Structure 1
Amino acid sequence: MKKSLFLYLLILAVLMNVFTYMYYSKKATSEETRFKVSNTKLKDSLNAVASKLSEANYFSLENNENAQNYFDNANAEKLIAYEKLIPFVKEKLMDANENPAGNPYIGMDKIGEQKFIINKVKILNHRWIIADYSDGEYWGESLIKYFINDDETVSFENFQTLLYQK
């Protein structure tokens, strides 16, 4: 009786080990398959986002080689790196927000108590800037021309302004 009990326990132990082994091996392959599928989906969505970002940045000085070449003059002393130009131009445009009457390059006078200031700027090419502005209540966008002068200063000129309805 003792031998048959040990035999039954041994068979039970072997069966438990076989079932446990099969469970964990199938679980591992199932997880591996699931991770491959989710990894593929993530790569696809990352590629889609990268494509949308590339499309959105089509009109920008960083991606426009013709506009970048505009700053490569024949005179090597006057070479302006667009990587340094972008923050310089943005800073000069944002410095005009300190004006008590509001930023003069927006093309809008004060409507209420608050002045209009530029919130966000994007340099489109070697000549155009688009800017988002607000006074806290009204919002709008402005298209601004900019020029790099010979003395390496920047001058701005408002071209078009749009004020959204409240």
Structure 2
Amino acid sequence: MYLFIFTLLLVVFQYVNSKKVLEDYDQRLNRFMDTNEVYKDSIRNMNDREQPNIYSFNFDTNDDAMTYIENEGYVISEFIPFIKDQLMSLNIYEGAEHPLVPFASMTENKMLIDEIKLLNHKWIIASFTDGSYWGEMLLQYDITDRKELKFKVLDSVLYAK
């Protein structure tokens, strides 16, 4: 008889304890699912906001510009580094004025082009700085019949310090 009562108490204790553990797991799972839903909504909202910006004026995503360059007989994987190298090589110059940067340095440092972004097969945005002052310029580039590169500054801006 004692054994039966003891076993019954043990079973009731196990049942109550298991029920509490199961309810706790269920609450945690529900909180996790709610949080997960909030995160999914946030990601969906961010994607909806970024969708209009998908065309970011980048040479790497502009199929028409790449096709144009390939039709001219260039290999894209070699073309982009060639353009950037040619533009960066203009940072090695004598005198006080950069060959392309339309602003003179206002410090003892030279104006140098530091970032380049190819927009398409004709235009580049480049930033320049002398360490204290900085700006940006819109460049047009052309490749001559002799495979020479010619740059032309279309517009530029120097930011206030």
- TM-score scaled by length of structure 1: 0.74
Q: Which residue of 2 aligns with 1:136?
A: 131
Distance apart, 1:14 and its partner CA: 2.5
Question: Equivalences for 1:4-153 in 2 at 5 Å?
Answer: 7=5, 9-46=6-43, 48=46, 52=50, 55=53, 57-73=55-71, 78-100=72-94, 101=96, 103-153=98-148
* Aligned-partner Cα distance in 2 for 1:91–1:30: 60
Preserved CA contact (<8 Å) 1:103 1:118: no
2:160 counterpart SS class: coil
1:38-70 Cα distance to aligned partner (Å, 9 max, x none):
444444545525963871652111222222222
Amino acid at match of 2:69: F
State the aligned residue count.
159
Q: Which runs of 4+ in 1 moved over 6 A?
A: none
| Identical columns (%) | 30
Q: Which amino acid aligns with 1:87?
A: P
For 1:145 and 1:131, how far apart are their aligned partners in 2? 11
For the Cα contact (< 8 Å) 1:102–1:117, is it kept in 2?
A: no
| Distance in 2 between residues matched to 1:51 and 1:83, nearest whole Å | 32
The SS at the match of 2:145 is coil
Of the structure 1 ranges 154-163 and 33-42, higher mean CA displacement relative to structure 2 is found in 33-42
Q: For structure 2, which runs of at least 5 residues remain unmatched after alignment?
A: none
Q: For the structure 1 residues 60 and 35, does the alpha-carbon distance in structure 2 shift closer, same or farther, using more than 3 Å as the test?
A: same
TM-score with structure 2 setting the length: 0.76
Letter in 2 for 1:159: L
Q: How much has 1:125 moved relative to structure 2?
A: 0.9
**TM-align CA RMSD:** 3.0
